[in-house]
A and B are shown apart, each in its own frame.
Chain A
Amino acid sequence: MLVIIKSAPDTPEGKRGIKLARDMAADVCLMQNAVYFSQKERLEGFCGTAFVLDEDARLRGIPSADMEKGVKEINYEELVDIIMKEDKTAGVF
């Protein structure tokens, strides 16, 4: 399962999306203001795969070096492929 999140880490929506993904052992895709979740230590204890939209991260000045190890940078086309492969997608938080 994939959970798509666009809200910033300091918002209830953003926190809800991460909690839901954690509870369901799902993967997450971080876009727009949610790309700040990709920074080190923000996703502590999250076991699924975290994808981040590279264009949205770059726009906000977040380089790959600032991201948590294991976060996968993708573009829109790759996001579409991931969504098509998943059995279920929930979003956008």
Chain B
Amino acid sequence: MGSISIILRRPPYGSVDTSEAIRHALGGIIEELEVKLILVDGGVAAARKGHNVSGTEYSSIEEGIKDCIDMGAAVYADKTSMKDHYLDSGDIIEGVIIANGSDIAERISESDVTMIF
């Protein structure tokens, strides 16, 4: 079974990067790859709880992240980026793994393929 690391650097909703990263992660899971979704820099904002999409035509990034976790992807959030973006462990979606830089580097080095959004 192959493995893929998907690195997301952008905050949600401001561009297509986040929804595309989630779409590729779900696709990888369906193809039975081992998927790691790694949130760094502004990407950690995608893991914030409480997205309110009512009245908009956006699909919820929060639900997308939960789907990834439910379907077996490992979702990591970079600890330093969380600090930079004023996010505590209580602010983020349950099941997201808070990791430091060296953990993340290790996860990426284990993967066959890396995609960056």
B is bound to A: yes
A59 touches B85 (CB 8 A): no
A36-B45, A59-B51 are known; give 6 further A-B pairs, CB within 8 A. Answer: A10-B42, A32-B14, A58-B52, A59-B56, A60-B12, A61-B48
**Residues in B whose Cβ lies below 8 Å from that of A55:** 55-56
How many chain B residues sit at the interface, stated as a range, is 20 to 34
A58 to B62, CA, bound (A): 13
Check A1 for interface membership: any CB of B closer than 8 A. no
Which one of B14, B49, B84 contacts A61 once the chains associate, using CB atoms below 8 Å?
B49
Taking CB atoms and an 8 Å cut-off, the chain A residues in 17-76 that contact chain B are: 32-33, 36, 39-42, 55-56, 58-63, 66
Taking CB atoms and an 8 Å cut-off, the chain B residues in 56-104 that contact chain A are: 56, 58, 62, 84-86
